[in-house]
Each structure stands twice: as structure tokens, then as C-alpha cells.
Amino acid sequence: MERDNEDQTLIKPKWVREMETIVEEGDLRERIKRAQERDEKVVKAVEKLKKAGIKVLRDEEWEIDNGVVLKEGRIYVPEGGLRGEVI
């Protein structure tokens, strides 16, 4: 139990709010949308959402908001170079 956070990266809530503002304002939002369109996890979640005719998958916490896919209420940035840039 002493090492349960050993592989965790902590991000200050302030940084998350600042990043959400940056994403809303510019090109980064479009880059994220394009990356999401190529991400298998996102594609599957969007297919499930559309097939069910709903906006939120409760069991997996996926949601579409203004064309951007959210996971657990936050913008989902697929793994890869763009995620590194955001972090």
C-alpha cells in the first residue's frame, strides 16, 4: 500500500482548467477532434453512442459534447504525440 501512487502523474486542478480554456479557444480543439477520429477506443464509443441514439454511455463514461468526445467528463486526448503536447 505504501507505493500505490508510484506510477501516477498528478496534475494540479488549476492546470486542467487552464488547458480546457486553451482547448476551447483554438486549433488544439480541432487537432484533438482529428486525433479522436483515428483512435480505436473513441471510434468504438462513438459507434455505440450513435447506435443507441444517446449522448452518454454510462457504463464507460463516454460522451460527445460539441463534436468532441469526453471520457469521465473531460476531453479525451488519444495516446500519442498530441497527448504529450497537451501534457
What residues make up the domain containing 43?
Answer: 13-86
Question: 21 in a domain, yes or no?
Answer: yes
Whether 8 is covered by a domain: the verdict is no
Per-residue pLDDT tens digits for 11-65 = 666 666 666 655 555 678 888 888 999 999 888 888 888 787 776 666 668 888 8
Q: Which three cell numbers stand for residue 40?
A: 480505436
5 within some domain: no
> Does 7 map to a domain?
no
Q: What total number of domains does the chain contain?
A: 1
Q: Is residue 3 a part of any domain in this protein?
A: no
Give the predicted TM-score (pTM) of the model: 0.59
